[in-house]
Structures are given as C-alpha cells and as structure tokens.
Structure 1
Amino acid sequence: MRDGAIRLAPISFLQSVSEMRVPGFVPLALCIVASAQDPVAAPVIDVGNTKYQGFVDSSSNISVYLGIRYAAAPLGELRWQAPQSPPRFPETQSAAIQPPECPQASTGMSPTNPVPKSALSRRGGDITFSEDCLFLNVYFPGTSIPKRKLPVVVWIHGGGYIALGAAVYDGRDLINGAGKEVVAVVIQYRLGVFGFLSGSKIKADGALNAGLLDQEFALKWVQNHIGEFGGDHNQVTIWGESAGAGSVLQHVIARDGQVHPPLFRAAITSSSFLPPQYLFNDPYPESVFNQVAAQSGCANSTDTLSCLRATDVSILQAANLAVNRAAFFGTFATVPVIDGEFITQRPTQALRQKKINGRVFLAVTNRHEGDLFVNPNAITSSAMDAAQYASLLYPRIGSAQAALAGRLYAGVGSPVEQANAIMGESVFICPSYYLLNAFHGQSFKAEYAVPPALHGDDIAYYFPTSIGAPPRTFNNTAFATSFAQSFFDVVRFMDPNRKFDKNNTTPLWNKFSLRDTEMLFNRTDSGQPDIRPIRTDVKLLQRCAFWESVGDLTAQ
C-alpha cells in the first residue's frame, strides 16, 4: 500500500450519495479511472523537477498527462504545513494513471447545531485513499505541443472541501467544449481535517487553510510550467463548482486582492459556496481541533500537534469522518477560516471593499441550490418555521434577526421551501451576487433554471462524458451548446458575447452591475430552449442584502 494510504470500514455516506443525490458528490466507486492503454505516446515534457510522459487519446485527439506531482507529499512533519516543492526525479515519469484521491469525509447529518457529542462515536470508510495526493492533470489539444500559446482553464473540484478529486472531472470535456482552443488543468488539494483543520495550535506551528494553499501552489505551478504544455500563463481562468466555486471566491479575495504576479485573469463560479468562515481561533474551529485531538488520543499530549503529526492516518481519517458527520445536516465542519494571511477578513467584507484579484467574473447559480442540503422530514416533523431554521443554521443570529429572516421568507412557500431557500440563498446564491458587485462593470450572471434545477445539475453540461457525471436534465443540443459555451467564451475571450461557435444562440449578455440583468437558461413547457436576459428578482436581492447585513453573525 502507498505510504500514507488508508483503508477503512464501509461508510454509509457512499450509499447515501447514490440513493439521495447528495449535492456536489459522486459515488467514489464510480470515480475509479482505468489507466490509459492508448499506444500513442504524447511528448515528454520537462517541468523542472522531472519529466513526464503522457499519452494521446486517439478518439479525441487530445494529449493527456495524469498525476503530475505539483507539491511534495504532505506526510509526517508536513501535515498541516504549507505545500513544499516536489522532489527531483531524474527518470522520466509516466503520466498515464489517475492520481490517488485525498482522504474524504461525508456531509453533516446531525439534526441540531452545534455538534452533539454522541455523534462523534460514528466511524466509516471502505475505499483506499492517500495523504500523498497533491497532483494535477493537464490536457492539451492535438498530438504535439500547440505552437500558439492557448488560454488555460484550471478546474477546482467541489465536494464540500471534504470529498472528490481530479479523476471525476475529465479535462478532455473542457477542451472539447472550448472548441479545442484551450489547455485544461484539473487540480487536487487536501480535504477535511487534513486540509482545513484550524485553531491556535495550527496557527502557531503550521499552516491554516492548507487546502487553499495547495490550490495556490498549484496555480503557481501553472504559471511556471503551463507554457511547456502550450498554455499561456497570462490567460488563465479559474473555474469551480460548489466548494470549487467557493475556492474561486477565496482566491478572488486572497491576500487582500493583492496577489502579484497575478495567478489568473478571469474567474468563474458555478454555485459559489460560502459557509460560515470563522476566525481561526473562534470557539467553533477550536472545538473541531479539540475533537480531532481527543479522538486521535492526543488530547493530553504536551505537544498536541506533534502527536497528531505522528498519528496513523487511519486514526485521523476516523476523526475526519466523525467530526464532519456530526455537523448540522447539510453543512460541513472543516471549511476555510480567516487565517490573517491568505484570508484576512470575512469574505463579505472583502468583496464589499472590492479587494479582489482577477479582471472578469462570471457566475452561474441553480434555482434550487439548497434543496439537497435540507432534511425535509426534520422540518415537517417538528413544524419548524423559517425563523427557527435560520437559528439552527446560524446559531449566533439573535431572535430579532431570526424573526426578520422569517418575515423575509414568509412568502416563499411551504416551511420546507422556506428552509430550502434560506440554505440555498445564504450559502450559494447571495455570495454570487456579492462577487458580481465586487467586479463592478466586469461581471456576468447566469441562472440555470431547468427543472428541478438542483445543486449540481449544471455539471453535466461542462463534463458530459466524465465518470459519474449526472444525466442532463434537459438533453437538448442547442441548449447545451449555448449554456456551456457561454462559459468557455469567457475562458477564451473574457466575454460571453464573443462567440466562437455559430450554433451558440445565447442573446446579448449585459454586464450584471449595469442593470441587474442576468441570463436565464431554462426550457419551455413544450421542450424548447428558453434562453433570454431577465432582471434579477428584487425580493431576492433584498434577502441577499439581509444576509450580508448579518455577516458578522453568520461568519460569512
């Protein structure tokens, strides 16, 4: 077994994914990608520390490089440290097999918030992962390195900062979607307690937000090496879905918007994800740290962090699963924090101050983002109203703010629909509008509304052939072309109105901040594409203004 690898007992999370369509996740059993058997070798490419031999996918005429190590294995003393440069290897490395995935966990399942101690005894897992997971995949069109430097799209995978990896998202889909005029990169980063364990002890002798620092390190790798693959480091777009989109948000506000030299020129978010982002030593992240230490047998150690670094990975993984499952239903215990260096203040504050990296921004949200994160049985069985649900989701908001939330959502629908809207808007949709306003005059907004328009329903249009991709809810060629290519237009030209395909029928797309207009992507009752500009719902913007006003209480 690979150093740092783990094998655990069966986890019910995998079953819940296949049965409940847990948002942002794909059954990990479906994520296994066979090693390439294509006999055509791609060029050998020198990336400084070593050389990689990829392969050519003859069916798509795309060169593929899988499992490129962009950082050293974060094992032992490198746990909870900033990523380090990879070691040198004199021999050419094969890049024909998908990299191992980082250790994973499941979404919160608790009916209450904060975490009940009784939930911490649960264990799980039946899949082999490895801490040695800091790899990325690179794809470029053709059998030889493009002579003309192409725009680059870097995909950051979602999964609540606790799940998934590069194998789920095939970069060939991105290249085909962009008319074979881009270079694609798909990255991995540390997840769960391995990537987002926080607290004062990590601050004192480690690196907070290690998973985000991994991403930044990968983006720097792209700046330094993508030219060897035919990419233009000055034309990089970062794009992600769910927690990947949340990661994009973090890089937009990283280092007070003063990252130099720039790591990207454009940013795209598909369902921006902004859960509570506490200060690193807030009682909540400190509590998670203490729980992990206790479950790992390090609570009484004179040097807790050294003890944790020496702990077997399987023990840490058991704690990883327990603390995340114990979180409030549909939420995640191990997420980014305000660390004082990479992220210096609450995201809503940074965006309001327009302290941003990047020049152009495009956001897409799905109409019913929150539905899959809410337990409808808990709402109906307890006759919970909107104010009560808001108080459970955000325990620090007071009774007055909770009551105001209840009034704002009173006309949305049933109690379950109100809870769905609170979750979907406060965590996914409203943060997209905060980003749009930060990129004043240089932002575009889309809404995916094809029923049921759930979180993740749009992924199949970007990754139509990727392993585990959900089926398209509207399998119409004209719709798929116009929807997906609008985003690839931004990757190539930084403008969704500059089309590279005459079959893209999306009408003129106004910049959001000029008129509060966005592009609706829906279908008619007769099954035809319904793509047109619309004005953003005023009541939605009012609700988003409310969530922004209580950001100090929701920690957003």
Structure 2
Amino acid sequence: MFTRLFYFGLVAVSTLHAALANEPPGELPILSLPYGRWRAAKYDRAADVYTFRNIRYAVPPTGPLRWTKPVRPKIPEIDIQDGSYDPPCIPGPQPEGFEDPSYEKQRKSASEDCLFLDIYVPGKALRENGSDKLPVIAWIYGGGYTIGSKDQAIEQGIYDGTRLVQHAAGNAIVVTFNYRLSVFGWLAGTTMENEGLPNAGLHDQRAALEWIKDYIHLVGGDRRKVSAWGESAGGGSILSHLIMHEGKTDPLFRRAVALSPGLSFPVDRKGMVEDQFRDYLSKAGCTGKGVACLRAASISKLIQASHNGVGQVGPTPDGRLLKHVFSVEMARGKYWKHLDSLVVSHVFDEGGPFIRSNDTLTSLHSLVQSLFPAYAAEAVSTLADHYNLNKPSYESVKTIGSKLVRDAIFACNIRAIVQGYPQRSYLMQYSPRAATHGADVAAVWYSPALYNVTIPLFAGYQSYLLSHAITNDPNSLRDQALTPPTIAWPRVAGTDKEKLRNVLNVGDTGYQLIADEQVLKSSCDIWQQVLLDATRQGGYL
C-alpha cells in the first residue's frame, strides 16, 4: 500500500512539473492523485498564483454513508477534472440576526456530495522542483456549524486565497475546504454514538487535514508547517481538534489562528443531547427507527426536518472523539500540548448581535436555564447571580445579555486556550468602529483589488497573521512600512490575573497594546467551575 502511494506521488510530481515546464499558451498544470487528475482552474498572472478548484477529498456521504466517517476516494476518475463541479454542503436554517445574502444561493445549490477542497499555489512552488517546501494555511469557515462554505462569498474575495499567497510573497500555500453542516454534520446523542457517527463535520475537517498531510507536497507544501485558521465555528473547530481523544491525537497542524472561537457546552449527552436527536428523528418521520431510517429517508425530508427547530448544533461530547466539552477538558489538562504557537482573537462586541431587542432579564434567565440539564440547577443560579438576572441593575438588558453570550460562547474559550499555552499565545482584540462578531473576516481576506482602495489597517493585520504562518512569529515579517505602523506584539501575559495583558488592539487609529477588559478571569473561572460541576453531577466525570 505504501509503495503504491509513493509511486503515485512520484507520478503526480513529474506530471505537474512537466506540464509547467512545457506550458503552451492557455494550458494549465495538472495535479495527479491516486484517484484522479485535476487541472488548475485558473492562473492569476499578476499574483503568480494557480488555483486548483474542487478537488474531492472524500466520496459523497450519502445513503448508507450518512453519519459515517469520510471515506477517501479509491477508484481513479477517468477524465481530467476541471474543478467546475462545486456544490456546497447542505445548510440548516439561517441563524436569526445573521442574515447572509449568500445563504439562498447556498441553499439552492447545496448537495450531500460536497466534500471538496481548493488549493491556492504560488507559481514558484510548482516551477522550482525540489526546492524548500512552503508553509500551508488551512482555512475552516464559520457559520454557527449550520451554514457556510469555502465559496460562500468568493466573488467578493472572501475565502479566495489568491491575495493571501500574493501578500506572503509566494511563501505560503492556502487550502480551503467544505465540511458537513447542521444535522448532517453535527447530530449527536447516545443513539448516534451506537448507530452512526456524532461530530461528522469534525471528522470531515480531520479528513481534509489528512489530505493535506498526504498530498500537499505534490504542490510544494510542507506538511510539517500547517497552520489552521478559522473564525467563529471555524475557530471553535480548531479548539475541538486540540482535545480529540483527550488530547492524545495529533491535530495535524502545528500553528493556529482562532478568531472568535465559538463553542457551546452540551454537557448532558445522554439526556439533553439525546432528547434533541429523538426530536429530530420524530420530525423526520423516523420515530423509534433510529439512524437506519434517517439514512434511508429522502434528502428533502431530512432538510425539511432540520428547518423545524432542531436546536443548537456543533462539536458535542460523544465519549470517544470528544470526551467532554472544551472548558472541562482544558481544566483537566486533556489537550494536545505540542503546538508551536497560536494567535487567538475576539472582536470588540462579540455578544451584542445575539441579543434581541425584546429580550428581558426573564428571557435571559430562561436562556441560561435552557442550556443546562435539570440536575444542574445550581449552575443556573450561580450564573443568574453573577450576571444580575434576578434583580434590577444599572446596566441595560442589552449590556447584560451581551456579556453573558460573550463569556459563554467566546471569551471563556479564549481564556482557557491561552491558559493552556501561556508561553505560546498571542492575543488580539479587533475593534475598528466597535466591531461586532464576524467583522474581522474582511481583514483576514482583504484584497485591495476588490475594495478598489488600499486599507493599510487591513494590510497590517493580514501581515501579522501571514508572518505567524510562515515563521511562527507574527512580528518577524509584519509590514512596518504602513501608516498606521504595525507594532511589536509580545506573547500574552497575565494568564493568572483578572485581565490578560500584551493584547494587540486593532482599532480605527491603528495598533496598541492593552489589558483585555473582556476576557476576565472572574467570569471565566465561574463558567469553568459550573461546567465541571454539571459534568460531575451528570455522572460523566
């Protein structure tokens, strides 16, 4: 088996470089894999970047393969693929308050056959056969684990890696990929544990990272220098990879950029999570029939059921891949210890967009109550007291609710991860125009050609991240010739204090180092303790 794969690798390299060396006008290089050949979809001459589009990394997860581990293709495709087949994964309902104009396009074109990846390769990586291999950036998109794709806003340059490769002076490769969403990627509970596969979306992400490990050398990439980047659900996914199998499994990346890492905390997989699964089973017309019925059901019925109040989805403890929720595993020290370094960030206002105009202290109290099993009433009481949900406060409901959501879903994940890697973490706050959740994505994927104007702040921001991916240090290659100028960014300090220090604030007027007023030890200690207590009370610890 190993000999066969090595043979195919040699064929792929020679084919690719031969195609480039003798490239006739209009001819694009071909990537040869053991299971097919993909011609580059385009070449950007100004950027000197080749784009390989929609390379299949797993067979369609349909029928009996629904809710199973992704399977690497084995039978070679006869024809050369041009990358034009590109359905996104099937989304769930659009999250309230986060209406995305690309959602309808995704919904209409989506398919279960969606496990594809794109590669953005600098021309020099293909021309310089045998030269040093390049660092790789693997992007995991956000969308609440229920919407999104590698192509969701590619026409606007979002998730198009061309500019990143160009800004890196051709010294990095970018890979983007799809993963299963909503009920197709994240159904969990004890029935799914016994009959299917919880966290299928996380397994898809792992399969894409395995593809990078096995094949990225064919386009000049170094599998030992992979950086995982992700925002929101993508950032939360990165944290989840670090606690796989209680931190014993190599996540297949050495560096990470986790922007607004979003994770919920389904501590009661045998109760609340299983109830959610059975509710979906009923809505899909499969009451009492289990996963086999779902696999046999029509796709239209499964989609309709997913839009009928399926509840929160995302990485969920299953007793195997993920033993406990993220905060609990970090408290137990059960995480991968061997990252080179990581960048973590939050925006100025993470929680505000999640609070409705008609929310009251009573509705916020009900929200907290809905997140915990009945046996964890003390957790609800502790949190209600901490956020003043039981009595009038000088703060507005909007302010209280924003803090509650910020801490629960984002800030305390950040606190836990930087405490886990205190000597290897860089922390950032993104705050131009009091930025709300998701605003930093535009800076990550910034391209002057798309904006028709140069935005130095975005260019500087991007240079920090690229420097980190290439050198393991956000400072060594940061762009220092900009106005406003970038500044030296030290590793985070004060991980045992109320406020984290050496935090890079990216604001309207430029960059400065601050003490973080949002990722607070007092609040995150409470969250970690109530989650530990609820996990113990449920008999999971």
TM-score, scaled relative to structure 2: 0.82
Work out whether 1:507 is the aligned partner of 2:495: no
1:317-341 deviations in Å (ceiling 9; x for gaps): 11112234xx4xxxxx221111122
Structure 1 residues 428-437 or 405-414, which shifts more?
405-414
The question of whether the paired residues in 1 share the 8 Å contact of 2:242 and 2:335 is answered with yes
**What SS is found at the alignment partner of 1:235?**
strand
Distance in 2 separating the partners of 1:418 and 1:443:
29
Once the two structures are TM-superposed, the CA of residue 44 in structure 1 deviates from its matched residue by 1.1
Distance in 1 separating the partners of 2:429 and 2:317:
30
Q: 1:345 to 1:554 in 2, by over 3 A?
A: same
Which residue of 16, 30, 36 maps to 1:44?
30
The question of whether the paired residues in 2 share the 8 Å contact of 1:243 and 1:272 is answered with yes
Once the two structures are TM-superposed, the CA of residue 397 in structure 1 deviates from its matched residue by 4.7
The question of whether the paired residues in 1 share the 8 Å contact of 2:347 and 2:437 is answered with yes
**What SS is found at the alignment partner of 2:358?**
helix
1:207-242 deviations in Å (ceiling 9; x for gaps): 211110111111011000000011100000001000
Give the equivalent residue in structure 1 for 2:328.
349
Q: Which amino acid in structure 1 is aligned with residue 275 of structure 2?
A: S
**What SS is found at the alignment partner of 1:65?**
strand
Once the two structures are TM-superposed, the CA of residue 480 in structure 1 deviates from its matched residue by 1.5
Structure 1 stretches of 5 or more lacking a match? 1-38, 111-123, 328-332
Distance in 2 separating the partners of 1:412 and 1:491:
44
Give the equivalent residue in structure 2 for 1:53.
39
Q: 1:390 to 1:344 in 2, by over 3 A?
A: closer
Give the equivalent residue in structure 1 for 2:211.
221
Which residue of 78, 82, 105 maps to 2:65?
78
Q: 1:545 to 1:173 in 2, by over 3 A?
A: farther
Structure 1 residues 345-354 or 236-245, which shifts more?
345-354
1:402-433 deviations in Å (ceiling 9; x for gaps): 33222499878311111011111220122111
Q: 1:177 to 1:251 in 2, by over 3 A?
A: farther
Distance in 1 separating the partners of 2:109 and 2:472:
40
**What SS is found at the alignment partner of 2:151?**
helix
Work out whether 1:416 is the aligned partner of 2:398: yes
Q: Size of the alignment, in residue pairs? A: 484
Work out whether 1:255 is the aligned partner of 2:241: no
Q: Which amino acid in structure 1 is aligned with residue 212 of structure 2?
A: V
Which residue of 313, 319, 328 maps to 2:305?
319
Structure 1 residues 146-155 or 352-361, which shifts more?
352-361
Which residue of 135, 157, 170 maps to 1:151?
135
Structure 1 residues 285-294 or 236-245, which shifts more?
285-294
1:74-103 deviations in Å (ceiling 9; x for gaps): 011101011111132243532433621111
Distance in 1 separating the partners of 2:135 and 2:394:
42
Distance in 1 separating the partners of 2:363 and 2:296:
47
Q: 1:41 to 1:544 in 2, by over 3 A?
A: farther
Give the equivalent residue in structure 2 for 1:305.
291
**What SS is found at the alignment partner of 1:378?**
coil
The question of whether the paired residues in 2 share the 8 Å contact of 1:70 and 1:136 is answered with yes
Give the equivalent residue in structure 2 for 1:104.
91
1:266-281 equivalences under 5 Å are 266-279=255-268, 281=269
Structure 1 residues 267-276 or 93-102, which shifts more?
93-102
Give the equivalent residue in structure 1 for 2:442.
460
Once the two structures are TM-superposed, the CA of residue 174 in structure 1 deviates from its matched residue by 2.6
Once the two structures are TM-superposed, the CA of residue 388 in structure 1 deviates from its matched residue by 5.7
Q: 1:388 to 1:164 in 2, by over 3 A?
A: closer
Once the two structures are TM-superposed, the CA of residue 508 in structure 1 deviates from its matched residue by 2.2
Which residue of 203, 207, 226 maps to 2:193?
203
The question of whether the paired residues in 1 share the 8 Å contact of 2:232 and 2:261 is answered with yes
Higher RCO (C-alpha under 8 Å, 6+ residues apart) = 1
Distance in 2 separating the partners of 1:346 and 1:492:
31
TM-score, scaled relative to structure 1: 0.80
The alignment-based identity, stated in percent, is 27
Give the equivalent residue in structure 2 for 1:365.
346
Q: 1:518 to 1:384 in 2, by over 3 A?
A: farther
**What SS is found at the alignment partner of 1:130?**
coil
